[in-house]
Amino acid sequence: MMVDPLIVIPAATAGVGFWVLVTGRTLRGVPRWPLEGASLRLAGAYDLLGSLVVLGLAVAGNVGLAFLTYAVLALVLVATVTVASKLMPS
């Protein structure tokens, strides 16, 4: 039996997103997002929901669509975190 990485990776990132959403802090410094408070929880919620959508697509058999969705959502998350960290007052 082969384990599909398109199921394992979104499941792991959904776990991290859930942790960040519930606790409002990172899990031992992972992910290394330069955010805090409500913006960190919002990024965690986005990560959780996006990972669950990709996981659902992968389990349903739409592997190609799941891969494209995961790639687009990951790029949007990186761009959002980068812009949000630059807009935060220092």
Domain boundaries, the chain: 5-87
Cα–Cα distances (Å) from 87 to 19, 37, 52, in that order, read 24, 14, 28
Q: Of how many residues is the chain composed? A: 90
Q: Do residues 35 and 43 make contact, with C-beta atoms less than 8 angstroms apart?
A: yes
Top pLDDT among 45 and 90 is at 45
55 forms bridges with which residues in the sheet? Answer: none
What are 44-86's pLDDT values in tens digits? 999 999 999 999 999 998 999 999 999 999 999 889 888 888 8
Top pLDDT among 6 and 29 is at 6
